[in-house]
Amino acid sequence: MKFHLKTLIITLAASAMLGACAKETDESDESVQQRIVEAYVEKYYPEATASESGLYIVDSTPGTGRTPQDTSYVLVEYTITHLDGSYDSYTYDSVAMQLGTYSYTAYYHPRIWDLENNYDGIVEIMTGMREGGRVKAVIPGSLLGESTARIYDVRLLEVIDNAYAYQAEQLEAFSEESFSGLDSTEYGFYFRKLNTTADSITGGHKADLRYVGKFLDGRVFDTNVEDTARKYRIYSKDNDYDVITFQFFVDEDETVETNDFVQGFSKALWRMKYGEHALTFFYSPLGYGDEGSDNIPGFVPLFFELWIEENETE
């Protein structure tokens, strides 16, 4: 099936470009891509409903909850595919297993989308939905900041007024469940020492440390502890699993700004001494923000377990 789809896409693209040359040599790429979308929909989804913007609603299931506004955040599950059927992105571990791309460090959970800072095609399909609804749409690349079209199959789980307050509630629930209601040190930031020492780190000095980074579901996404990497099936022979070094300053802000770590990580280290073991968890503004990084999506709170090595200079 995928072979035939790829053949069709190539044929459609060639036909569209030839048609463009025959009619108008300076026809834009956007226009050519729109013609490809139209031909694709006519072939595979002739009953699809076209919008004025050029996207097509293939299928939809009405929800019964709140309707998002263009300034809302939304919690969604989705698959995003190219017109040839290949996957671009997805939130389901079942899809990863089916494709043979499952990763133990990946985040297979619903994602938060910020509609106020998103592409027109996504805003259009989401603001026409209600919580509990589903939509499948063919969206031209011009409405997604892409060069080619995508097929979005999206389930709207929840409309969120504030993504940061939502994460703060997640962290509070996590604290209650896992740490008997540990209070936050500041908004969106939790910290607890698991042992204490009297060996303070002097301002300007460095210390070695080990860490384990987890999502709130307990899945490890990164560590420099080899045994932990093996246990959680994320070991890589390309990693040396050596200690990393951070520089301590008397001023917390200077410590955070100087070290090349996410803020929550550095804030926790600033509170520690040589030989101490601690844990911290915090919301995304202190982590990888709204955009995320590599296998960590935006708007995702993180958990770290930290060990600062003994001071060997004395």
136/226 same-domain check: no
The CA distance from 180 to 286, in Å, is 23
Amino acid, res. 64: T
Q: Residues 61-97: pLDDT tens digits?
A: 999 999 999 889 999 999 999 999 999 999 999 999 9
111/204 same-domain check: no
Mean pLDDT value across residues 136-162: 98
Residue 230: name the closest of 104, 64, 98 by CA: 104
pLDDT band (50, 70, 90) for residue 311: confident
The reported pLDDT for the residue numbered 17 is 45
CATH number for the domain that contains residue 82: 3.10.50.40
19 part of a folded domain? no
| Cα Rg of the chain, angstroms | 24
Is the pLDDT reported for residue 21 higher than 70?
no
257/202 same-domain check: yes
The reported pLDDT for the residue numbered 5 is 52
Is the pLDDT reported for residue 260 higher than 60?
yes
pLDDT band (50, 70, 90) for residue 312: confident
Q: Which structure tokens are listed for 245? A: 């070094």
Backbone angles phi, psi at 257, to 5 degrees: -75, -30
Backbone angles phi, psi at 255, to 5 degrees: -65, -45
84/217 same-domain check: no
What whole-number percentage of the chain has pLDDT above 70? 91
Q: Residues 210-246: pLDDT tens digits?
A: 999 999 999 999 999 999 999 999 999 999 999 999 9
Query: String of b and e for 92-122 (b: at least 16 CB within 10 Å)?
Result: eeeebeeeeeeeebbbbbbbbbbbeebebbb
The reported pLDDT for the residue numbered 167 is 98
CB 149 within 8 A of CB 36: yes
Residue 310 DSSP SS3: coil
The reported pLDDT for the residue numbered 105 is 96
The reported pLDDT for the residue numbered 4 is 53
171/152 same-domain check: no
The CA distance from 298 to 171, in Å, is 16
> Rounded mean pLDDT of the chain?
92
Residue where one domain finishes, among candidates 135, 160, 185: 160
134 part of a folded domain? yes
The reported pLDDT for the residue numbered 8 is 53
Q: Residues 273-299: pLDDT tens digits?
A: 999 999 999 999 999 999 999 999 999
User: Total domain count for the chain?
Assistant: 2
303 part of a folded domain? yes
Residue 220 DSSP SS3: strand
- In sequence order, the β-bridge partners of residue 209 are 244, 308
168/153 same-domain check: no
Is the pLDDT reported for residue 2 higher than 60?
no
pLDDT band (50, 70, 90) for residue 118: very high
The reported pLDDT for the residue numbered 22 is 42
189/246 same-domain check: yes
Is the pLDDT reported for residue 14 higher than 50?
no
Question: For residues 160 and 19, which has the higher predicted lDDT (pLDDT)?
Answer: 160
The reported pLDDT for the residue numbered 159 is 98
Range of the domain at 271: 163-308
